[in-house]
Structure 1
Amino acid sequence: MFKHLAKDIPASIVVFFVALPLCLGIAVASDAPPFAGLIAGIIGGIVVGAISGSQVGVSGPAAGLAAIVLAAIASLGYEKFLVAVVLGGVIQIVFGIARAGVIGYYFPSSVIKGMLTGIGIIIILKQIPHFFGVDKDPEGDFRFNQPDGENTFTEIFNITDSIGWGSTLIAVIALLTLILWSNVLSKKGKFFTLIQGPLVAVVLGIIFYALTTGKSLEISSLHLVNVPIPDGINSFIGQFTFPDFSVIGMPEVWITGFTIALVASLETLLCVEATDKLDPEKRITPTNRELYAQGTGNILSGLIGGIPITQVIVRSSANIQSGGKTKMSAIIHGFLLLICVVLIPVVLNMIPLSVLAAILFIVGYKLAKPSTFKAMWDAGLKQFVPFIVTVIIIVFKDLLWGIGVGLALGIVMTLYQSYKNSHFLHKEDPDQGGPRLKMTLAEEVTFFNKAAIKRELEELPEGTQLELNITKTTYMDYDIIEILQDFKQKAINRNINITLVSERGTLKDPENYFQFFEQEKLHLSDNQRNIS
């Protein structure tokens, strides 16, 4: 864990500056106290980071849960909601014990890439108003339709109404600094690798704010990081909220807890899958251990007033792109959140949100590169369609809808491909005995293939000599056998002769297809035992 501190420490600083406004913004978007988001970020970094088996994943409050948390707080009240968060953590640990961590592996690669790209696009779109210093909505409010009647695009189109020139100027300077640092200076020496561009951009932002205060380019407090500033120990402790366990028997609390556990686990597992794909060293995260870690984090977060935690792709990708190598990066970022919230909240409140928007522009671009769209298009429609649908629905609806629809579409396309590939029909030149056709069935033929096979059989012309080859077939549903059995009488009436070619040889028009395939299955089983 300590071998790569030279890379983990700079990466942790970048993740800290990305996580800080997101922790605050997601809490506000969830109608929770801002301090609750910081609690979740600190626990997600220190506790979950320490327990997790992921080397580059970073956990904290997630935008994907904001709508659920918002509804739960409105329905239950905050203290009762915290009980649901604790229960959700316990249920996640039960999921881990039940070895439910494999669920994430059943999502197609096209959907995972669509999720990453969609999140990247959302990050860029949501940061455009911040970049120009005009957006009053909380950072991390990733919903397309906003409570104020606006949506993502109308907010962007209304930028020209009230551009904050100070915010815009320092954002442009920060963005140019980041590009220069990444593409030029980082290759010039070790100093430019150790000191990361985002840190320089933030320092420039603080200096700019200090120099322009009271002048025409002054940045409004609405467009600065807003960390709560305690007056003392008592004031700091007073920011914590504790759950009301007297309501633990309420069904609504348990339903909310289970919903949080299910959605948080699914979002975490998908982020783990995506993060593992981004990891340059291609390490594999133990998913059941990740559920233990997330469950433990949510229990502790709920006990002291925090909102739910998941592994978050925005922070994780920022960690990877900044050179993070081990879990120390996530842990250190958690300590940085804790130290800064306690010791230097005044300095943090001097950071312009437009500078953080410039940093997130780079993160979003790396997730949604144009080359990704080209690569998915080149991979064919089976990959591109689920990918692009996932992207569109994530941008215009939300993360879980996008993943769900993308997965459903991927399954439909797979079934359609299975429908097409159930058999191969080869037509020979007709002779005096009528046309000769050879139909070779696939390795596995299921009820999904019924329509295709039945259609081909029904369209055979009278007098056809049909050779049905099942030498490659290791599994056949009884639905298919029934089709052949039903077709037998029709074949006689239409003067169609059927020859079966199997592992055991060639058989002319068997009397009973059921009996034939039972014997064929026994024959294949004997062969498999002999091979073993």
Structure 2
Amino acid sequence: MASGAPLFSGLIAGIVGGILVGAISKSAHGVSGPAAGLAVIILTALITTPFETFLLAVVIGGIIQIILGFLRAGIIGYYFPLSAINGMLAGIGIIIFIKQLPFAFGYDGEWKGPDYHACMSDGNTFKALMQYFEHITAGAVIIAIISMAILLSWELYLTKKHKFFRLIQGPIVVVAAGIIFQLLTKSFFSQYHLSHEYLVHVPVANSVSSFFGQFTFPDFSQIGNKEVYILGVTIALVASLETLLCVEATDKLDPHKRVTPTNRELFAQGAGNIVSGMIGGLAITQVIVRSSANVQAGAESKISAILHGFFLLICVAFVPGILNLIPLPALACILLMVGYKLAKPALFVKQYRLGWEQFVPFIVTILGIVFEDLLIGLALGCCVGSATILIRNFKNSHFLHKQTSDGKQQIKISLSEDVTFLNKGAIIKELAAIPNDSYLTIDMSKCASIDYDVREAIGDFIISADDRNINVKVIQPLGRSSAKEEIYSKKLDKWVYALPVQSNPSTD
């Protein structure tokens, strides 16, 4: 609904994401389907693009994802810092919690119907939340209280006492209790009965032909339309990035810490998008909300994702009327628990104790996701994480040792193993602070690599050292040929080379 697409297209994407993607993927807990990260892209596209043309873009996006999988582009997912991944989980958890509260309290303002879902996807989250609390529904609050009591009882007590309560999950009981509440209040307590707007809305087909009539097919006559390819590339890139991030986050939640092959995941997602687009479904990604709910429910293998696709197909095809009896407040409480577990206070405490280099990117990612969107939040978190790396490199490029002998300062600067242009500023700053009339040793013996930028900066300092009466000695790295250093010896008459002791360079 938030995407502005036919409701049945979202269900198709969920079914394909479960059965097909679940079967091809090697993710133990990943659950795929239509995702909020693509909702804005789809909504914008459908303003100017017919739905059948959009489906063609989904197919093209799937083909591109398969190509990315064969090109082994899945490795990109491993280059996101853990602090940003944890921030993504917490940020999504906070958004889930905030945006499900109106459902739990039964907001009865302008939220009924598609306008509500569009409102929930756009605008300031906190401002909208304050508006929602102006209108609550008694029946919804009662269902929410009952649902939370069941979920907490299952979580804190019952599952620890008997295996039966681990087999029958609390969320299933919550859904059943919600349906029973609806049926009872309809007959006996009508003042607490929830109207149609507060219930699940699944399209109901009156016959087999009307069911299959809900499927839509791509318009291949637009195959030469360049706008379709631009949209296809956009879908492929955003869906791939969101999938890789969700894979990384879901693997972190896995109790067994299994690692999902990311290239295989891109191939699976691509195949899913091709099939989904061919039969009228939305674009597919792996979804962290469903995946984390899968982990929390105790899933052990990808069979759960495949079965969820089959169950979704069976329910939509045969019992949509029963699904439409489920109260939204009951589902809201289930997601409130999911959101809390993703953003529980213990995670914030843990990140804080790890130090500012982990905590700052973590918080920045959360703020970006909550106040903007997923990709912006992750981009900000990664930028801050990269900045902390630069700062650390700036500080850790060298070690300075000072001592006084015969009334003159003897200073030794030992460079680290890898010295890059990122360290140039710190080294220049340190050299500029060397006092006049001193002896300086620049020890490069531990260096495996030194960027030309740094060598040039050191060379410039040695030229200027004469004017400050600084005597400079340079200890070259082991294994460097003298031919490579000829340019420096010719340029710098005062550059004295001294090789370190060969016997035990690691302790020099």
- Common fold, TM-score beyond 0.5? yes
CA contact (8 A) 1:144 1:397 kept: no
Contact 2:15–2:310 (8 Å) recurs in 1: yes
Q: 1:453 aligned to 415, 420, 427, which one?
A: 427
| Equivalent in 353, 356, 359 of residue 384 of structure 1 | 359
1:515–1:43 Cα change, 3 Å = farther
Per-residue Cα deviation, 1:230-255 (whole angstroms, up to 9, x for no partner): 11112111211111011111111001
Partner of 2:90: 117
> How do 1:296-375 and structure 2 match up within 5 A?
296-375=271-350
Q: How many residues align?
A: 489
From 457, 468, 493, the equivalent of 1:494 is: 468
Could you tell me which residue of structure 2 aligns to residue 275 of structure 1? 250
Instruction: Tell me if structure 1 keeps the 8 A contact 2:125–2:370.
Output: no
Where do residues 449-528 of structure 1 align in structure 2 (5 Å cutoff)? 449-503=423-477, 512-513=487-488
The one of 169, 193, 205 equivalent to 2:142 is 169
2-side partners of 1:514 and 1:165: how far apart?
86
Q: Which amino acid aligns with 1:234?
A: S
Given that 1:90 and 1:299 are in contact with CA atoms closer than 8 Å, whether structure 2 keeps it comes out as yes
User: Aligned to 1:130, which of 94, 103, 127?
Assistant: 103
Q: Does 1:153 align with 2:130?
A: no
- 1:62 aligns to what? 35
CA gap of 1:115–1:139, structure 2 versus 1, over 3 A, is farther
Separation in structure 1 between the aligned mates of residue 268 and residue 215 of structure 2, nearest angstrom: 22
TM-superposed CA distance for 1:427, in Å, is 2.0
Report the equivalent of 1:16: none
Separation in structure 2 between the aligned mates of residue 233 and residue 133 of structure 1, nearest angstrom:
35
| 5+ long unaligned stretches in structure 2 | 493-498, 504-508
Contact 1:481/1:513, CA 8 A, preserved across alignment = no
- 1:453 and 1:99 mapped to 2: Cα distance? 38
Give the structure 2 partner of residue 226 of structure 1.
201
* Runs of 4 or more consecutive aligned structure 1 residues displaced over 4 Å after TM superposition: 137-147, 514-517
Could you tell me how far apart the structure 1 residues matched to 2:227 and 2:199 are? 38
Contact 1:85 1:302 in 2 (8 A): yes
**1:241 and 2:213 matched:** no
1:186-201 matches, within 5 Å, as 186-201=159-174
Q: How much does 1:221 deviate? A: 1.2
2:71 matches 1:98: yes
Out of 241, 258, 268, the position equivalent to 1:266 is 241
**1:288 maps to 2:240:** no
Distance (Å, rounded) in 1 between the aligned partners of 2:477 and 2:127: 66
Q: Is the 8 A contact 2:441 2:473 kept in 1?
A: yes
Q: 1:345 to 1:223 in 2, by over 3 A?
A: same
Mark the CA change 1:333 to 1:140 in structure 2 (over 3 Å): closer, same or farther: farther
What displacement does 1:141 show?
A: 8.7
**CA 1:257–1:458 in structure 2 vs 1: closer, same or farther (change >3 Å)?**
same
1:437 aligns to 2:415 (yes or no): no
Superposed, 1:399-410 pairs within 5 Å as 399-410=374-385
Partner of 1:255: 230
Question: 1:451 Cα deviation (Å)?
Answer: 1.0
Letter in 2 for 1:355: A
Counterpart contact for 1:144–1:151, Cα < 8 Å: no
Shift of 1:195: 0.8
Task: Tell me the amino acid that sits aligned with residue 91 of structure 1.
Answer: I
TM-score of the pair, normalised by structure 2: 0.92
SS in 2 for 1:171: helix
Contact 2:361 2:382 in 1 (8 A): yes
* 8 Å CA contact retained: 1:437, 1:467: yes
For the Cα contact (< 8 Å) 2:124–2:371, is it kept in 1?
no
**Superposed displacement of residue 145, structure 1:** 7.8
State whether residues 448 and 477 of structure 2, in contact with CA within 8 Å, keep that contact through their aligned partners in structure 1.
no
Q: What's the CA shift for 1:501?
A: 2.5
Deviation per CA, 1:478-498: give whole Å up to 9, x if none: 001111111122101110011
1:211 to partner: Cα distance: 1.1
Distance 1:406 1:254, change over 3 A: same
User: How far apart are 1:172 and its partner, in Å?
Assistant: 0.9
Aligned CA RMSD, in angstroms, stands at 2.4
The aligned counterpart of 1:3 is: none
**Inter-partner Cα distance in structure 2 for 1:233 and 1:367:** 41
Deviation at 1:75, TM superposition (A): 2.2
Q: Distance in 2 between matches of 1:273 and 1:515?
A: 53
CA distance in 2, matches of 1:303, 1:400: 27
Query: Aligned letter for 1:443?
Result: E
What is the identity, as a one-letter code, of the residue corresponding to 2:444? I
Residue in structure 1 matched with residue 495 of structure 2 by the alignment: none
